[in-house]
Amino acid sequence: MTPSHPQRGCDALLAAIQAAGVSRIFTLSGNHIMPVFDAALDAGIPLIHTRHEAAAVHMADALARITGEVGVALVTGGPGHANAVSALYTALMAEAPVVLLSGHAPNALLGQGAFQEMRQAQMAEPVCKAAWTCASADAVAEDFVRAVRIARSGRPGPVHLSLPTDVLEQPVSQAAPRSAGDFAAEAMLLDGAAAQTIMAKLKGARRPVILAGPSCMTRAGRARLAALQYACGMPVVGMDSPRGVADPRLGAFAQMLAQADVVLLLGKRLDFTLKFGQAPAIAADALVCQIDADISEIERSRQALGDRLQVCATADAPSALVGLMAVQPQGPSNNEAHWLDQFNEAIAWRPPAWEQASPSQVDGLHPVQMLRPVQAALESHPDAVLVCDGGEIGQWASACLDAPHRLINGVAGAIGSALPYAIAARCAAVPGAPVIAVMGDGTVGFHIAEFDTAVRYGLDFVAVVGNDARWNAEYQIQLRDYGAARVIGCELRPSRYDAVAAAFGGHGEQVTRADAMVPALQRALLSGLPACLNVMIDGLPAPVMQRP
């Protein structure tokens, strides 16, 4: 539909969003962004209207990770923007290309006490790759193009653009048409000589390991990592958990990494997840190579490792993978026989005792009993989506479950994103593919009102809530560090989150016995509604994957 009025800044913005291939915008309404809502009617871009601004950002994050398109969140200015900012950190650490568009007080009134005037760009700047305020209606489309390119390029991540109301309402004097190519990432190619040198180092090692960062943990990224592992015959491991070397998804990985003599960091930061490269996480005499889009990350590694940091190169992760695949060093490999097989066996290892897992209470399940039926459901479709979120229960889920598409709350370690992730996953997923989100009772409370969003838009998924009636991660820390007599502030009620979901119009059931889990999950999947299974579980600590 062609607007009946002269093209405004908001119309130019929506035209650019269309040209970028954005399939939908996740939003929460407010005064400052009403011009954008008006323009969306003419543009025909669907709006998914959420119940909290942070949820809109989490949804954009999830959509970006599943589809590869840039995720767009649109919120109002002032307090609405402030609500959204916290979710940018999760997207930043997950390396997800997201653009947060926030309404803003008019440029013409800045400094005069305008309604909800706030230094929004400065607020967002620490938790995104770039943040600025649009200066004019003629600049808004180009600003969006720039924001998308920054979000996608190098190490992907979120970008913020504030949109003053006068910028949105003023007429545009010129409107350059946009094509999909305008929004493409700026490739940072891996130098061929550097690729040859790095592969020679790895091939000359006895026990080499390649570690990849969060941006490689999408479905497409994991396929590329598997291809590299097959081509080079050495372990290639993606890392995206705040538990780092102790990530239960990786089994006995920590024990194997400690034996490595050469480690390549491929878009993987040398941070707390790797114990800053120090022993015992990485052996004191192990050598390290690094490929990273950010020269600052390489400099930080050099400060931590000194002469142990051998060969470095700048490149984005996809380009680095292509560059490494293209080189084939000459001569025999010194890699230890069966090293890759041993590494893969260690990652696949799970404690044998889990086969006989049982709860300590009559009305409740061991986490493994809750999760086994979930894995069977995820294996029922080639495009199934798994969401893992929460403290201890999130680690049990990571250890027990896998799916073609996998979303976790990521290196940020901030819980609460699971329900928004599940909603966005349903938007992006193949029809009929199950979307299952596993979370704790602490996690579900952050955005439980998003069941209303899911019901309004007919977006079905199953939330499996492991309910141990406490903030279990913090409880376990207190128990370990201070003793049972010093546990405080971690109690929750055994609340009926399933009843809350049902009250919003979804499907809800409580599960208290292991033999009830399979039929309850089947009913939830067949309901065609946003569903919540409130599963009473033992409040166990996260699994420690120490192989004998």
Q: What is the mean pLDDT of residues 514-532?
A: 97
Q: What is the mean pLDDT of residues 160-167?
A: 97
On whether residue 541 sits in a domain, the answer given is no
Confidence of residue 1 (pLDDT cuts 50, 70, 90): very low
CATH number at residue 199: 3.40.50.1220
Q: 375 with 461, same domain?
A: yes
Mean pLDDT computed over every residue of the chain: 95
Strand partners, 73: 26, 100
Q: 59 with 88, same domain?
A: yes
Q: 153 with 213, same domain?
A: no
Share of the chain above pLDDT 90, in %: 91
pLDDT of 83-134, one tens digit each? Answer: 999 999 999 999 999 999 999 999 787 777 777 788 999 999 999 999 999 9
Residue labelled with tokens 């034996």? 259
Alpha-carbon Rg for the chain, nearest whole angstrom, is 24
Q: 99 with 248, same domain?
A: no
Q: 22 with 158, same domain?
A: yes
pLDDT of 344-387, one tens digit each? Answer: 999 999 999 999 888 887 789 999 999 999 999 999 999 999 99
**Per-residue model confidence (pLDDT) at position 177:** 77
Positive or negative torsion for Cα 271, 275, 281, 282:
positive
Q: What is the mean pLDDT of residues 431-449?
A: 97
DSSP category for residue 169? H
Residue 123 CB neighbour total at 10 angstroms? 17
**Per-residue model confidence (pLDDT) at position 330:** 65
On whether residue 542 sits in a domain, the answer given is no
Cβ-contact 416, 449 below 8 angstroms: no
Choice between 276 and 180, residue whose per-residue pLDDT is larger: 276
**Domain ends where: 118, 150, 183?**
183
For the record, the structure tokens of 491 come out as 């109690």
- AA letter at 86: S
**Domain ends where: 348, 381, 412?**
348
Which range of 1-10, 287-296, 356-365 scores highest in mean pLDDT? It is: 287-296
**Per-residue model confidence (pLDDT) at position 86:** 95
Task: List Cβ neighbours of 182 (8 Å cut-off, separation of 6 or more).
Answer: 19, 145
pLDDT of 4 higher than 60: no
Positive or negative torsion for Cα 385, 514, 465, 463:
positive
Task: List Cβ neighbours of 312 (8 Å cut-off, separation of 6 or more).
Answer: 289, 290, 291, 292, 298, 301, 302
**Per-residue model confidence (pLDDT) at position 361:** 78
Q: 111 with 94, same domain?
A: yes
**Per-residue model confidence (pLDDT) at position 533:** 98
**Per-residue model confidence (pLDDT) at position 176:** 74
On whether residue 496 sits in a domain, the answer given is yes
Which domain, by its residues, includes 216? 192-348
For the record, the structure tokens of 532 come out as 């919540």
Q: 64 with 43, same domain?
A: yes
On whether residue 329 sits in a domain, the answer given is yes
Task: List Cβ neighbours of 384 (8 Å cut-off, separation of 6 or more).
Answer: 377, 378, 403, 404, 405, 433, 434, 435, 436
Q: Calculate the alpha carbon distances from 205 to 163, 238, 477, 543 in Å.
A: 53, 20, 39, 32
pTM metric for this prediction: 0.96
**Domain ends where: 330, 348, 366?**
348
Helix (H) or strand (E) holding 439: strand 435-440
On whether residue 548 sits in a domain, the answer given is no
Cβ-contact 336, 207 below 8 angstroms: yes
**Per-residue model confidence (pLDDT) at position 174:** 77
Q: 37 with 169, same domain?
A: yes
Q: How many domains, in total, are found in the chain? A: 3
pLDDT of 393 higher than 80: yes
- Residue from 72, 81, 61 nearest 19 by CA: 72
pLDDT of 321 higher than 70: yes
Residue labelled with tokens 């589809």? 67
- 512/111 Cα distance (integer angstroms): 58
Share of the chain above pLDDT 70, in %: 98
Q: 269 with 390, same domain?
A: no
- 84/93 Cα distance (integer angstroms): 16
pLDDT of 186-212, one tens digit each? Answer: 999 999 999 999 999 999 999 999 999
- 417/389 Cα distance (integer angstroms): 7
Q: 343 with 492, same domain?
A: no
Mapping DSSP onto H, E and C, the string for 379-438 reads: CCCCCCEEEECCCHHHHHHHHHCCCCEEEECCCCCCCCCHHHHHHHHHHHCCCCCCEEEE
CATH number at residue 154: 3.40.50.970
pLDDT of 3 higher than 70: no
pLDDT of 29-85, one tens digit each? Answer: 999 999 999 999 999 999 999 999 999 999 999 999 999 999 999 999 999 999 999
On whether residue 2 sits in a domain, the answer given is no
